[in-house]
Chains A and B, each alone.
Chain A
Amino acid sequence: MNRILTDNSPENSVVLGGHPFGDRLLDAGQIERLLAAPVFKDINPAEFPSTTPLASILAYHGRIRRFFEGEMIVMEGDYGHSVFAILSGELRGLAPGQGRVRSAVRKQQTMITFFKSLAQLWQNARITERRQSGRIEDHGNGRDSILKTAILEKGANQPRRKRQDRRTRQATSPYQGPDRRQATRKASKSLVRMLPDVAEVIANQDTFCLGPGDIFGEIAALTRTSRQNTVFVASPMVEVFELRWQGLRELRRWSSYFCAYVDKLYRERGLEIQVAENHLFKGLDGPSLQRLIAHIQYGSYGNFEWTAAFQRQSQGKESAGNPPPLEQDIYLQGAAVNEIGLIRSGFVRVVETRDGHQQTVGYLGKNDFVGGAEIRQYLESGTALSWQNSYRALGYADILRIPVDPLLETLSNMDSQQLASLAPRTKGTAGNFSLLDFLVDKRLINGTQAMLIDNRKCVECDECVIACAQNHDNNPRFVRKGENHGPFLVANACMHCIDPVCLIGCPTGAISRDTESGAILIEDASCIGCSTCANACPYGNIEMVAVNDSQGNRLLKADGSQEMRATKCDLCTGKSGGPACVRACPTGALSRVDLHRPDQVGNLFR
């Protein structure tokens, strides 16, 4: 067996990056068990370099976790950063779009009536960030108890019949006595989410089985997109090995078997759906689609963790000398086009080099084709197929690489109208290159609801800030500062990004995208104040705040530290009339704008 790293020494951190995934490194016995598991037993350890042996990768980037009946391991819509391999027990996955189950665990946004809004005038507490102290003090388990209580509170809100069913099911569960209590304790300590009624879900919902040897979550971990399914425990207990994305990347890099295995899974589970959903390939018949998919390669450019470097550079904290590049070249201008890319996630900068001078001429986002313009030009005019521009991953871009030959074969049966969607022109700002540079350099193209303030109209009355505070626990959810472009200010308010990196890694799934409005929302009851989202946001638009009880005293955890919550703009979701900041601005200087819409952006900054 390879040498296993047995401590968290700085040397190990340098080799493998950061800190171990689990509380401690996996021991030799656990590694031996993993290497005998169906998923890993065919990996050849000899393929790995001596600096990062297979066992060390598993020990450092993985952790073994136990879950108990009813616990949800991943939820549809969560943004994942790890893959799971089942070691024992049975899991069930819910087909995508099983909203009923989601609503049972995530609070549904309900509209506040006019009279309830009116009542806020005298009901609103004068204390800033007031929270109920009872749920923390009553349980006394510190941060772990918050989530459990939150879920129990949701359970209490269920109709009487459901609670009755739950009691009945518990009484007849084969997993009883001390083991059951242990299960509950474990559940409370490991920050998991409980499904209200497993039996009912299995009976009435469209589920699929997962057992030992299966892996799941690989698409989200690879592409940093939202989980496609909710997976919950259907047997009394399961053991899973959770491998974070860094480990998955390492295994794919060194093990040809594992790389092929994961790619195969990705093709089976995600690729076909994604390609078929693309506007260009929508009308393709099954065999043509399969022929095309067989040639598609997966490509990842840039760095998953670009946000930290971007934050440092934005704040001017980057050390002088050689800051790490935030952009990686994908295709270079002038080179021959052998393949084009379909962007799965992230953004791509389009750069034109003319007379030695580089100019950003556009950007591309999810579902756009990198090279679509070149292919279209080739089909229409028959010019030589070479890259007209350079393309760079903005921080990180996940791309499906489609070779030219099979693509041209597929496109040969399409009419000009269909081909038009191949290159809907790079997103630009009508020749305003200064604005384009500003938006792309600051990554503001990510925002769908950016707060734009026209300083020519802003009279410094602070009505927007006051209105926001009055609607949100007497604490505004934005700062009237930010990035300036001419007389315009893009304020530090959540932009509700297309690619919301803040969602990645939230241990409780408290931060999520609202399926109806598209807003990124934090469910206060599930937030444990871990700061993961606040640290991840590249724009610094999530604030950690200390919370108080009804008397204005700071709430403390069981260990004596300050209870914190993540807060950010929620677009006043649930309140009629839209964001209070926009409604309160007397001069119309403040607006919420979609900076990703190329047809609007140019007009906005005039």
Chain B
Amino acid sequence: MNRYLQILLVSGCTALLLTAFVWFHGQTSQSLRGVYYYDGWILAVALIFLGFFFIRKSLRVLPLIDARFWRLAHLVVGLISVVVFLFHAGTGLPSGWLEGAAWTSFVVTALSGVLGWLMTRTLPAQLDQENGRILFSEFPVARKQLAKDVDALVLKIIEETGDREFLNAYQTEWYGFFSQPLNQWSALFVRRPTATELLAHLDATPVSLGAGDRENLNRLRTLIAARGTLDAQYRRQVILRGWLFIHLSSVFALMVFSLTHILIVYAFSMGTP
């Protein structure tokens, strides 16, 4: 299908569903059961529908509708559910811990969903700009190969120049940069030089260079930049994969709190006409 036609169709469907909801909300606002009753159930149905995408992704052997259409529907219904939620919960903050928990889990789910959608729109293109992609499972191999190449190159430089200062700099500053895997958590607490810093450091390090050594140094610069690219790729891929854990965790929390919310509402609404 033509891309613009698809956008038009999706936007049209979203607008239609939203209009239908607003109209229905207006119709039920005078209902004896209360508007929250209907809004709440519409929200519950929307949340159940949103969960179908997860089920579809789990049932890969079944000839169900393509995942991309489910995802599209997930986005549309997700957007509508935010509007329904605003009508249902109002714009103020919730009172009581249960409502607060349900409200928070919904907001986290919605925000992580929107953030995830934005990231899936931007990060893939960034990954592609950096000399092609690398498979997630191949990062350790690529890191190891880079470290090996750098080791060999540095030894060659030291052998040829006999520069002790360069050797010290490599041992204290750079060796860790190449040999250690990128550990996101430890990087938060342990200061490690970035590729840019290392390149600056390399420029500042006085190396007794012959004419042929400049080529080796340039090669070293290339390897440092390659490792920097590799780490950037890894970070982006971790984010691309990781946001879903936050989204799904909040979804499960939302399921639990929503169910509890429904049960409590029904338990305390007996006798209402």
Taking beta carbons and an 8 Å cutoff, which residues of A are in contact with B?
114, 117-118, 120-121, 124, 455-463, 466-467, 470-471, 480-481, 484, 487, 489, 575-577, 580, 582-589
A455/B67 contact (C-beta < 8 A), A121-B61, A480-B135, A484-B132 known:
no
Closest 9 CB pairs of A and B: A577-B63, A467-B60, A588-B68, A576-B63, A455-B128, A586-B71, A586-B67, A120-B61, A459-B120
A584 proximity list for chain B (CB < 8 A): 57, 60, 67
A117/B61 contact (C-beta < 8 A), A455-B128, A484-B132 known:
yes
- CB neighbors of A among B224-258 (8 A): 237, 240-241
Q: Would you list 11 pairs from A and B whose C-beta atoms are within 8 A, ordered by A residue?
A: A114-B62, A458-B124, A460-B133, A462-B136, A463-B57, A470-B60, A487-B125, A489-B133, A583-B64, A587-B68, A587-B71
A455 touches B68 (CB 8 A): no
Q: Is B188 an interface residue (CB 8 A)?
A: no
B135 proximity list for chain A (CB < 8 A): 480-481
Taking beta carbons and an 8 Å cutoff, which residues of B are in contact with A?
57, 59-64, 66-68, 70-71, 120, 123-125, 127-128, 132-133, 135-136, 237, 240-241
A576 proximity list for chain B (CB < 8 A): 63
Give Cα A487 to B133, complex, Å.
10
Minimum CB distance partner of A124 in chain B: B61
Chain A proximity of B256: nearest CB distance (Å): 25
Give Cα A462 to B244, complex, Å.
13
Give Cα A564 to B211, complex, Å.
55
Give Cα A462 to B57, complex, Å.
11
Most buried by B among A121, A459, A587: A459
Minimum CB distance partner of A112 in chain B: B63
Q: Give 20 A-B pairs besides A117-B62, A460-B124 with Cβ atoms closer than 8 angstroms.
A: A117-B63, A121-B62, A124-B61, A455-B124, A455-B127, A456-B125, A457-B124, A459-B120, A459-B240, A460-B127, A460-B136, A470-B61, A480-B135, A484-B132, A489-B133, A575-B63, A577-B63, A583-B66, A586-B71, A587-B68
Chain B proximity of A281: nearest CB distance (Å): 40
A580/B60 contact (C-beta < 8 A), A459-B240, A586-B71, A588-B68 known:
yes
A460 touches B241 (CB 8 A): yes
A455 proximity list for chain B (CB < 8 A): 124, 127-128, 133
A471/B68 contact (C-beta < 8 A), A456-B125, A459-B120, A484-B132 known:
no
Minimum CB distance partner of B68 in chain A: A588
Give Cα A117 to B61, complex, Å.
6
Contact of B59 among A121, A124, A582 (CB under 8 A): A121
A582 proximity list for chain B (CB < 8 A): 66
| A-B contacts at CB below 8 angstroms, number | 76
A456/B67 contact (C-beta < 8 A), A470-B61, A471-B61 known:
no
Contact of B60 among A460, A466, A489, A587 (CB under 8 A): A466
A489 proximity list for chain B (CB < 8 A): 133
A459/B124 contact (C-beta < 8 A), A117-B62, A118-B62, A481-B135 known:
yes
B241 touches A586 (CB 8 A): no
Chain A proximity of B56: nearest CB distance (Å): 9
A114 proximity list for chain B (CB < 8 A): 62-63
Chain A proximity of B10: nearest CB distance (Å): 13
Contact of A456 among B68, B70, B124 (CB under 8 A): B124
B240 proximity list for chain A (CB < 8 A): 459-461
Chain B proximity of A20: nearest CB distance (Å): 41
Minimum CB distance partner of A111 in chain B: B63
A580 proximity list for chain B (CB < 8 A): 60-61
B59 proximity list for chain A (CB < 8 A): 121
Chain A proximity of B106: nearest CB distance (Å): 22
A461 proximity list for chain B (CB < 8 A): 240-241
Minimum CB distance partner of B74 in chain A: A586
Minimum CB distance partner of A469 in chain B: B60
Chain A proximity of B120: nearest CB distance (Å): 5
Give Cα A577 to B64, complex, Å.
8
Minimum CB distance partner of B120 in chain A: A459
A585 touches B60 (CB 8 A): no
B127 proximity list for chain A (CB < 8 A): 455, 460
Chain B proximity of A565: nearest CB distance (Å): 21
B124 proximity list for chain A (CB < 8 A): 455-460, 589
Most buried by A among B57, B68, B71, B125: B68
Give Cα A587 to B120, complex, Å.
9
Give Cα A575 to B60, complex, Å.
12
Minimum CB distance partner of A457 in chain B: B124
A586 touches B128 (CB 8 A): no
Chain A proximity of B263: nearest CB distance (Å): 31
Give Cα A170 to B133, complex, Å.
62
